[in-house]
């Protein structure tokens, strides 16, 4: 990362783009952000100001890192001087393809274009990138990217392996934890894992087994605490005691199969959605999205600091 990438273009400054901007600035990079929405610049600067104390507390602000290195342009052509592009546009394939056609014309061929897309494949997106599709890949973060380390790297059919390596080096240099997918699947990996859990929660609520609040509590106060420390397969290994994963599978392979049995066919109909919404509103109990996000970030910050201290030790 050092020397090669000094200015990052952030295309789309909603929640994900704003969070990326905060991280890039904290790591001492120049950021040129673009978003055609009215009031986008003011919202972006407000977000960065709100996020900055957490980055300071985390020790993520490098020498030279400052919000003052942010510039903004409403015109997409204004990002032409960037060394790296992080795209955060709407999850609509025709929109993405047209956007990549424009980015392909604006940015020099050596500039990597990474999408934050949570589900679209790069093979489909880069069809709009006729000149240099080899520099396009998925660099999918998790919300909020300025705190959550994970970035999923996924190549499209026309992505050059060197582009993935360069993106990996860049993200790792920012302090991110990258994983590389060996093949494309809709939703990538982590969202697919989340999706299985969410599907089961919806099914349990719909069948009257548990409330939304208690399902959330079962996750966050049970296995979710462990998942913040180690992955499920490693935890299975520990669950096997001295016999490790082999003993765990010997003991639990059959019970696991019974747990995988769906309760009933599930269609995410408007009625089912409304049941989830009503349950969630009861759990929220009048708290604002802003206050809930602040609570989330404070707890994430504490966990991240604890994990870093342990890794340093």
CATH number of the structural domain spanning residue 92: 3.40.50.720
pLDDT of residue 260: 86
Residues 204 and 103 in one domain: no
Question: Are both 129 and 155 inside the same structural domain?
Answer: yes
> Using CB atoms within 10 A of its CB, is residue 19 exposed (0-12), middle (13-18) or buried (19+)?
buried
Which residue is associated with the tokens 């494949």?
121
Instruction: Please name the helix (run of DSSP H) or strand (run of DSSP E) that holds residue 70, with its range, or none.
Output: strand 70-73
Number of domains in the chain: 2
Residues 138 and 223 in one domain: no
Quick one: tokens of 162? 């060197």
Strand partners, 150: 177
Q: Give me the pLDDT at residue 278, please.
A: 96
Domain boundary among 180, 213, 244: 180
- 260 part of a folded domain: no
Residues 67 and 204 occupy one common structural domain: no
* 53 and 163 inside one domain: yes
150 and 220, same domain (yes or no):
no
- In this prediction, residue 310 carries a pLDDT of 86
Using DSSP's 3-state secondary structure scheme, residue 74 falls into: coil
Phi/psi for 124 (5° steps) reads: -75, -45
Same domain, 35 and 146: yes
- Domain co-membership, 157 together with 203: no
Which stretches of the chain score pLDDT less than 50? 1-2
pLDDT of residue 2: 40
Instruction: Clarify whether residues 221 and 83 are in a common domain.
Output: no
pLDDT tens track for 229-287? 999 999 999 999 999 999 999 999 999 888 888 788 899 999 999 999 999 999 999 99
Q: What is the CATH number of the domain that holds 196?
A: 1.10.1040.10
Are 75 and 197 found together in one domain?
no
Give the domain-ending residue among 147, 180, 213.
180
Domain containing 34 equals: 7-180
One domain for residues 165 and 276? no
């Amino acid at each position: 990362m050092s020397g090669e990438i000094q200015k990052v273009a952030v295309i789309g400054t909603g929640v994900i783009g704003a969070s990326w901007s905060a991280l890039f600035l904290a790591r001492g990079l120049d950021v040129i952000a673009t978003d055609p929405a009215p009031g986008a610049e003011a919202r972006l600067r407000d977000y960065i100001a709100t996020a900055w104390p957490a980055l300071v507390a985390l020790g993520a602000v490098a020498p030279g890192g400052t919000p003052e290195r942010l510039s903004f342009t409403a015109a997409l052509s204004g990002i032409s001087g960037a060394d790296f592009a992080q795209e955060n546009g709407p999850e609509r394939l025709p929109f993405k393809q047209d956007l990549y056609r424009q980015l392909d014309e604006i940015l020099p061929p050596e500039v990597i274009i990474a999408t934050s897309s949570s589900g679209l494949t790069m093979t489909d997106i880069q069809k709009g990138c006729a000149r240099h599709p080899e520099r396009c890949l998925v660099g999918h973060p998790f919300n909020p990217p300025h705190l959550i380390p994970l970035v999923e790297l996924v190549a499209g059919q026309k992505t050059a392996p060197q582009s993935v390596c360069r993106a990996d080096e860049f993200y790792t240099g920012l302090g991110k934890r990258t994983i590389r997918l060996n093949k494309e699947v809709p939703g990538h990996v982590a969202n697919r894992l989340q999706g299985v859990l969410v599907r089961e929660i919806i099914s349990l609520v719909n069948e009257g087994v548990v409330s939304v609040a208690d399902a959330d509590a079962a996750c966050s106060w049970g296995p979710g605490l462990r998942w913040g420390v180690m992955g499920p397969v490693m935890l299975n290994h520990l669950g096997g005691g001295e016999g490790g994963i082999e003993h765990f599978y010997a003991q639990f392979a059959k019970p696991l199969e019974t747990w995988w049995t769906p309760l009933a066919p599930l269609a995410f109909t408007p009625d089912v959605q409304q049941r989830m919404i009503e349950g969630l509103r009861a759990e929220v109990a009048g708290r604002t999205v802003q206050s809930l996000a602040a609570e989330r970030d404070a707890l994430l910050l504490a966990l991240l600091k604890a994990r870093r201290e342990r890794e340093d030790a």
